[in-house]
Amino acid sequence: MWEQIRSNQIRSVVLTIGMGALLILIGYLLGLYFFDSAIVGLVIAILVWTVLSLVGYFQGDSILLSMSRAKKIKRDDHPRLYNVVEEMKIASGLEKMPNIYIIDDPALNAFATGRDPNRASVAITSGLLQKLNRDELQGVIAHEISHIKNRDVLLMAMCSILLGTIVILAWYGSRFLIFGSMTGSRRSSSSGGGGGAQLIILVVALVFMILAPIVAQLIYFAISRKREYLADASAALYTRYPEGLASALEKLGTSTGQLKSANKATAPMYIINPFRKKGMKASDLSSTHPPISERIRILRAMAGASFNDYDQAYRKAHRGEGVIPAASIAAETVPIATINLEGEAGEPNEIQRARETSDVMWRLSNYNTITCDCGAKLRVPPKFKEPIIKCPHCGRTHQV
């Protein structure tokens, strides 16, 4: 049941090979045109791809995390978040506890990264952290852990690198082609004859250079969308509670904020597409991710919590076409847990969660928080050297 995402992996591999073929074709054409030898072009294409892949493989997660200015937390910084991640680690059977990061951004989003399940990280924005209650947080974290468990993270990273290489080569290739044909500065050796044939090659090459990145992007999005559905299905199975994720997605869907630190290549890593047009709701059409409203509808239509139930619900929404490979559908019944949402006493409400999250963010920036007797909270910056600080509200003095 757990590892049997395999047949879907085969599908992804086929698509990835398709992208790889595009890359090779570009290299081939470029080589043929500029160097009169396909091999040289191929070598250049593969070299660029190898370098980018190596960097992406070994440094991808730390680049992504530092680009999004994520801060790593420990158990004591935010016990509830840590506990929820640990719960999902146990439910999914992951062997090692993933690192947990918080991104100081009011936008609502989360992502998972790491090249293998033993070196994984999950990151969540502070905005999302304070918006979600415990069950919703569990749903979101379960979705991210599923990406780790299903090994989507590495696949998507490698695919985005492949896409990046294709885009780079096609961009430079088409510029050189246009520039070269205008000034006639192409190799002189071939200028002898076949001007017409040369023109045809030029046009074909140009059209190809323009189409290749688009096709590659479409393939990339197709892989990414499929993976989102699978991660939703796994999240429902791990939590035994599809409503948690559905309710979280609903909150995510009504948000209008864009994530500042995301870029196009990293978009599929997030739980919802970070590049909605400004002011546009996330529930409107997005290409790397399936429409949120549809994801919610499927989750809410689930009769149980198994892959089978998710597949049934998906079929209802898509006129019979399934999403989960037949091999991984076990004919067992997995009941949905009965949990009362927003009902647990003792759970902090949204205001308390906001305070808690801002406390964590200040602490992570090395600010010292002193709570004055009058109720004011003093945030003492790390550079503050005086031994005593006066409360600006009531005038009491405090030891730093």
Partner 1 sequence: MVAVYIIIGVVVVLLIIFLVLYNGLVRLRNQVKNSWAQIDVQLKRRYDLIPNLMETVKGYMKHERETLEAVTKARNLAQQVSSAGAGERAKAEGELSSALSRLLAVVERYPDLKANQNFLALQEELTSTENKISFSRQFYNDSVLRYNNQTQMVPSNIVAGMTGFKASEFFEVTVAAEREAPKVSFT
| CA–CA distances in Å: residue 97 to residues 10, 50, 87, 397 | 28, 30, 10, 42
State how far the Cα of 381 lies from the Cα of 363, in Å rounded to an integer: 10
The CB-of-11 to partner 1 minimum distance in angstroms stands at 24
The CB-of-245 to partner 1 minimum distance in angstroms stands at 15
Q: Which C-beta is closer to partner 1: that of 79 or that of 194?
A: 79
Q: Which C-beta is closer to partner 1: that of 62 or that of 352?
A: 352
Q: Following DSSP, what letter does each residue of 164-211 receive, concatenated?
A: HHHHHHHHHHHHHHHHHHHHT-S-GGGTTS-HHHHHHHHHHHHHHHHH
Q: Which C-beta is closer to partner 1: that of 239 or that of 258?
A: 239
The CB-of-222 to partner 1 minimum distance in angstroms stands at 30
How far does CA 115 lie from the centroid of its chain? 13
The CB-of-126 to partner 1 minimum distance in angstroms stands at 19
243 is catalytic: no
- At 101, is the secondary structure helix, strand, or coil? strand
Q: Are 81 and 99 in contact (CB under 8 A)?
A: no
Strand order across the beta sheet in which 99-103 lies: 70-73, 99-103, 121-125, 110-113
Binding site for partner 1 (CB under 8 A): 1-2, 79-80, 83-84, 86-88, 90-93, 134, 238, 240, 332, 337-340, 343-347
How far does CA 304 lie from the centroid of its chain? 27
Q: Are 106 and 257 in contact (CB under 8 A)?
A: yes
Burial of 206 by CB count in 10 Å (0-12 exposed, 13-18 middle, 19+ buried)?
middle
Q: Which of 3, 95, 136, 144 is catalytic?
A: 144
Q: Which C-beta is closer to partner 1: that of 92 or that of 273?
A: 92
The CB-of-87 to partner 1 minimum distance in angstroms stands at 5
Q: Which C-beta is closer to partner 1: that of 93 or that of 194?
A: 93
The CB-of-138 to partner 1 minimum distance in angstroms stands at 8
State how far the Cα of 298 lies from the Cα of 133, in Å rounded to an integer: 21
Strand duo 397-399 + 388-390: pairing: antiparallel
Q: Which C-beta is closer to partner 1: that of 145 or that of 177?
A: 145
State how far the Cα of 207 lies from the Cα of 241, in Å rounded to an integer: 49
Catalytic site positions = 144
